[in-house]
Amino acid sequence: MWTVKVVSLGVVGLSLSLELLFWLFSRRRSERVTNKVLFFPSKVACVEHIFSPTLPHSHVCSLPHGVDTSFSRLLRYILSACSSLDLCLFSFSNMDLSRAVLLLHSRGVTIRVLTDKVYSAISGSQIGVLRKAGICVRCDVSAVHMHHKFAVVDGRMLITGSLNWTLTAVQSNMENIIITEEPDLVQPFVKEFCRLWGLNDSAQDLNSVTD
Amino acid sequence: MWTVKVVSLGVVGLSLSLELLFWLFSRRRSERVTNKVLFFPSKVACVEHIFSPTLPHSHVCSLPHGVDTSFSRLLRYILSACSSLDLCLFSFSNMDLSRAVLLLHSRGVTIRVLTDKVYSAISGSQIGVLRKAGICVRCDVSAVHMHHKFAVVDGRMLITGSLNWTLTAVQSNMENIIITEEPDLVQPFVKEFCRLWGLNDSAQDLNSVTD
């Protein structure tokens, strides 16, 4: 009789523990998955402390300091890359975003940039700067526009929306950016980036010769 | 002794049933939430069967029939609206998308369209067509571009991405669209739409007088 009682209570305990563990696991998973939205225009504020965290907030510059803005959050998400950053961008002329990409490159993060051929050549484009720094850049050479504006951080976080990586988009226009780690949303973009990167392989070889 | 055994087994049974129910509920919830991605350019195919489901696939037109494309899926997501459709669009000249919006309007779906003032006046824009049909349209009158390209279906499904609602974007450019029901992603867009809609209230009153 005692054996039956002990076994029964053991099973109750085990079952309840499993239930609790399962609940905690589900809760932690949903807390871990990032799903954020940023809207623009962003307030204009100093972002030096994002690039140099040791820099005191009172360093000399006329912009407001220590302000959390849509743009500072976007920079932080990009700078969170540890191993890889894949960029698929129609237009890239924002110098702070370019600085963030160069900083990641100097940290050894593998960066691939796919961009629109026409817009890569416009005044102020950062594409030439990235290429000169040794970052792997490919231009889409099809007759149509490569109108994407997305980034994939470490193959697990997607940053996408209406925002071109320009100063006007960040500081003036009404724009949106989604930051998500939902695999159902991230993985199709990872796959599409690889497809487009592969498609423009031979074109890139041609660019390397003519540049 | 028998009472203890029966109670213990009852607790085991109850605990296991609760665990099973919790698991089934979590699984069903994650299956229910839509998270889809569409890439463009879309294959060009006939979409008449989407507007008239009773129409045989063999109706007279030179385009391929019965083909499931990114564009036909986008149309289906838009046409799934039962009560409301909020559109926040930089550029809207695609006639099939305009037809879908007009069809929803005729079904009694409440439609609100917020668009960029400059682009609402360009050749081929559908904004005038929607306004003439009695759909509530407001133009953003700020000095900057209202560069969003998103739609909220029934306040629960978000359609957003790089794709402007134009023929070039759908049939030529490389573009993306996300369709999601994740509340963390949808709700900020619902809130932002209401904010922008409210902001352009007085401007709209002015438009009504001058139009």
Average pLDDT over chain A reads 88
Least confident of A29-43, A46-60, A85-99, B80-94: A46-60
Give the C-alpha separation, A132 to A123, whole Å: 16
One-character DSSP codes across A98-136: HHHHHHHHHTT-EEEEEEEHHHHTSTT-SHHHHHHTT-E
Phi then psi for residue A36, to 5 deg, are -125, 155
What's the confidence (pLDDT) of residue A208? Answer: 47
Provide, rounded to the nearest whole percent, the portion of chain B with pLDDT above 90: 64
The stretch A46-52 carries a mean pLDDT of: 89
Which residues in chain A (138-177) have CB-CB distances under 8 A to chain B? Answer: 140, 142, 144-150, 160-163, 168-169, 172-176
Which residues in chain A (98-137) have CB-CB distances under 8 A to chain B? Answer: none
Give the C-alpha separation, B28 to A25, whole Å: 17
Torsional class of A44: left (φ above 0), alpha (ψ -120 to 50), beta (otherwise): beta
* Residue A68: active-site member: no
Residue B210 pLDDT class (50, 70, 90 cuts): very low
Contacts of B18 in chain A (CB under 8 A): 19
Q: Which two tokens stand for residue B148?
A: 């969003």
In this prediction the ipTM stands at 0.84
The stretch A134-153 carries a mean pLDDT of: 93
B114, pLDDT greater than 70: yes
* Residue A147: active-site member: yes
Give the C-alpha separation, B7 to A29, whole Å: 34
B26, B142, B148 ranked by CB distance to A176: nearest? B148
Identify the CA nearest to A158 among candidates A49, A63, A35. A35
The stretch A109-128 carries a mean pLDDT of: 91
Options B43, B49, B105, B154, the catalytic residue: B154
What's the confidence (pLDDT) of residue A26? Answer: 64
What's the confidence (pLDDT) of residue A130? Answer: 97
Model pLDDT for residues B148-196, shown as the tens digit of each residue: 999 999 999 999 999 999 999 999 999 999 999 999 999 999 999 999 9
B56, pLDDT greater than 70: no
Residue B117 pLDDT class (50, 70, 90 cuts): confident
Helix (H) or strand (E) holding A176: strand A175-180
What's the confidence (pLDDT) of residue A59? Answer: 64
Identify the CA nearest to B133 among candidates B91, B103, B154, B153. B103
pLDDT: which is higher, A186 or B22: A186
What's the confidence (pLDDT) of residue A142? Answer: 84
Q: Which residues, listed in sequence order, are joined to residue A112 by a DSSP beta bridge?
A: A86, A136
Nearest CA in chain A to B178: A185
Residue A54 pLDDT class (50, 70, 90 cuts): confident
Options B145, B147, B191, B205, the catalytic residue: B147
Do B149 and B205 touch, CB atoms closer than 8 A?
A: no
CB contact under 8 A, B37 and A188: yes
The stretch B21-43 carries a mean pLDDT of: 81
Residue A53 pLDDT class (50, 70, 90 cuts): confident
A136, pLDDT greater than 60: yes
A4 contact B CB<8A: yes
Phi then psi for residue A96, to 5 deg, are -70, -40
What's the confidence (pLDDT) of residue B16? Answer: 75
Sheet holding B149-153, edge to edge: B35-40, B175-180, B157-161, B149-153, B84-89, B110-116, B136-140
Sheet holding A110-116, edge to edge: A35-40, A175-180, A157-161, A149-153, A84-89, A110-116, A136-140
Model pLDDT for residues A66-91, shown as the tens digit of each residue: 889 999 999 999 999 999 999 999 99
Average pLDDT over chain B reads 88
Specify the amino acid at residue B107. Answer: R
What's the confidence (pLDDT) of residue B208? Answer: 47
A11, A22, A146 ranked by CB distance to B12: nearest? A11
B60, pLDDT greater than 80: no
**N residues, chain B:** 211
**What HEC string does chain B produce?**
CHHHHHHHHHHHHHHHHHHHHHHHHHHHHHHHCCEEEEEECCCCCCCHHHHCCCCCCCCCCCCCCCCCCHHHHHHHHHHCCCCEEEEEECCECCHHHHHHHHHHHHCCCEEEEEEEHHHHCCCCCCHHHHHHCCCEEEEECCCCCECCEEEEECCCEEEEECCCECHHHHHCCEEEEEEECCHHHHHHHHHHHHHHHHHCHHHHHHHHHHC
Q: Which two tokens stand for residue B41?
A: 């350019």
